Amino acid sequence: MFDRFLEWRMNYVLVLAIIVFVIPLLMENPFYFDLATQILIIAATVVGLNLLVGYAGQISLGHAGFYGMGAYFSAVATSAYNWPPLLALIVAAAVVGLVAWVVGRPILKLKGHYLSMATLAVGFIIAIIINNESQLTGGPDGMVVPPFSLFGWELSTFGLYSLLGLEIPGHVAWYLVAGVLLLVAVIIAQNLIDSPLGRALRSIHGSEIAARTVGVDTARYKSMVFVISAVYASIMGSVFAHFTGFITPAIAGFDYSIVLITMVVLGGMASPMGVILGAVVLKLLPQFLAGFQEYETAIFGFILMATMIFMPKGFYPTAMNAIRNKLGKSSGGKA
Amino acid sequence: MFSEFLQYLFTGITIGATYALVALGFTIIYNASHVINFAQGEFLMIGGMGTVAFMGLGIPMFFAIILAVLLACLVGIALQRLAIAPAKNADVVTLIIITIGASIFIRGIAQVVWGKDYHVVPPFSGDEPIRLGGAVLNSQSLWVLGIGAVLVIALILFFTRTLIGRAILGTSMNKLAAQLVGVKTQMVLMLAFGLSALLGSVAGVTVAPITFTAYDIGILLALKGFVAAAMGGLGSGLGAVVGGILLGVVEAMTAGYISSEYKDAVAFSMILLVLFFMPRGLFGGRTVERV
């Protein structure tokens, strides 16, 4: 029974679900819920980015551009044009997907540092447009986003809801919604990884030329996964915009792109649990470092550098290997 | 009309020369180790801010500059020894994040030690502008161009005429073969980082009288240098210089004739266009990928 659970490819999703839904029982402070919800949203974004970086082995230093584009599309469409939020979110995802497809085809022919350069450029261009079209986006000052609503039912962090006879405050409701979204994001990603697409991506990561030689349409699969990861970013960007109710162009900027890709690498590439852990660590770290005041930046940089030097595979795989080695030893060397 | 154009051209070439030096710094490290060093911009910051700090201690400008450049070289060598060398088998993405972590770390230290204020470095030879064809040329611009040209020529001589320079080139072509003929490749890598820091810090201090300097100027300059290096073709010295000047001129022309808000967008669109049609940049060599 336990063996079958260990072999089940989705076993970690159940573990994740338990963690996600037990945590709210241990927290009360709305501030923690706010932080936790942000972590869930960003974690779902990097689960998507991981498909591109971790599985297909392609670099994107501009993914925040897609995240910001989704967020701003939703924000502008719902506030200035009174679109229903769900419609805005879907259309935003479609538009971002289209943009990613159009730029992705030529960009993904590039390799290594040229690909980093090109994705960085795409992200920058999107951020500059958001920054400068201030009559729509409010420019560097940011803009207010209306709360999410569906068929007249409004989800706001300040609301009060009842579920199965329980009174749930808005910030807890948002946390639960974000938690469900993360689980859905992980399940979809895992299914993609186990599909022929996932196999093709891993073959591209291994050796692109070898993959092409055996008949894998590498260009098609690479742009497909680029679009998928951009759509993930766009949807979570829209969700984030409605959640916080106020967005600034920083969420589309280069620094934020670096944050996203760092989460993927720090936690452990090609492992959904790893990248989620990366998101948790990178989002919590500034909270712990706030006490160091002016030394905060230096310590943050140092931790980033040291982790990547000593755990180049990331936290999660390193920790899992250590645990497996321990277990292997205690059961008489049986791994 | 023409004087306006000339003015933008001067501005563009001056800032372009700075980009070219940053791009050359990228190129040297890339050639020696295939690492893109995102901390490259911090060398410029150390050059400018170091000079300000040493002058603040009462050291004459000339010596303050030398000390700042030495400091940058030390940081460059330390970066290679302590951060890049231990991670030699890491992925490209991992190395990118290590150098980004290093740049955040260096910036964080600079912010604690030197503060967050913007500083002005006095021009090297008075601030009397030079009039030329109706346009005004800053005398410091001549310093930037002159020092840039001297550095480029010195680099060419270094790489073609000296044993150490050839050892670096040899290592970049084939590390194992270089080791076999007795090149100490670890030494070469350290030297490459030191040299790259030297270029960066000299560029940083020569351009500081024009652009001001502060603890956080590095990241954008590093990105521009990366754009210039990629446009010219990573690994190509000529490409770095051409890419840098081209980027500076296009930026200045866009700012002058189209819109200063979109000058960076034009720079990034240009690099995209170049890469669409020439995936290895303007002067990048063709390589055959091995399976």
Residue A332 has pLDDT above 70, yes or no: no
Are B226 and A297 in contact (CB < 8 Å)? no
Per-residue pLDDT tens digits for B130-179: 887 778 888 888 889 999 999 999 988 988 888 888 888 888 778 788 88
SS3 for B283?
coil
Give the separation between CA A290 and CA A292, rounded to whole angstroms. Answer: 5
**Amino acid sitting at position B102:** A
Residue numbers in A near B36 (CB within 8 A): 113, 116
- Written as six digits, the tokens of A250 are 């920083």
Locate the chain B residue with the closest alpha carbon to A126.
Answer: B265
| Residue A160, beta-bridge partner list | A169
Residue B263, judged by CB atoms within 10 A of its CB (0-12, 13-18, 19+), counts as middle
A206-224 average pLDDT score: 85
Residue numbers in A near B112 (CB within 8 A): 294-295, 298
Per-residue pLDDT tens digits for A173-185: 899 999 999 999 9
List the one residue out of B49, B47, B39, B52 whose CA is nearest residue B18.
Answer: B47
Are A122 and B94 in contact (CB < 8 Å)? no
Per-residue pLDDT band for A236 (boundaries 50, 70, 90) equals very high
Three-state SS string across B172-215, please?
Answer: HHCHHHHHHCCCCHHHHHHHHHHHHHHHHHHHHHHHHHHHCECC
Architecture of domain A12-287: Orthogonal Bundle (1.10)
Residue numbers in A near B92 (CB within 8 A): 59, 112-113, 116
Per-residue pLDDT tens digits for A126-159: 999 999 988 888 888 899 998 888 876 777 777 7
Are B94 and A302 in contact (CB < 8 Å)? no
- Best-predicted range by mean pLDDT (A75-79, A172-176, B213-217): A75-79
Residue B34 CB: number of other CB atoms within 10 A? 15
DSSP conformation letters of B42-84 = HHHHHHHHHHHHHHHTT--HHHHHHHHHHHHHHHHHHIIIIII
Are B108 and A301 in contact (CB < 8 Å)? yes
- Interface size between A and B, measured as CB pairs under 8 A: 145
- Written as six digits, the tokens of A87 are 């419609």
- Residue from B27, B36, B104, B247 whose CB has the most chain A CBs within 10 Å, to mutate: B104
Q: What is the sign of the dihedral through the CA atoms of A130, A132, A137 and A139?
A: positive
- Residue from A269, A282, A309 whose CB has the most chain B CBs within 10 Å, to mutate: A309
Query: Among partner residues A207, A297, A304, which is closest to B291 by beta-carbon distance?
Result: A207
Q: Which domains does chain B have, with CATH numbers?
A: 2-277 (1.10.3470)
B283-290 average pLDDT score: 62
Query: Among partner residues B91, B104, B223, which is closest to A304 by beta-carbon distance?
Result: B104
Compute the CA torsion angle A13, A17, A23, A28 (nearest 10 deg).
140
Q: What is the pTM of this model?
A: 0.89
SS3 for A320?
helix
List the one residue out of B240, B269, B257, B220 whose CA is nearest residue B8.
Answer: B257
**Amino acid sitting at position B9:** L
What percentage of chain A carries pLDDT values higher than 70?
96
Domain boundaries, chain A: 12-287
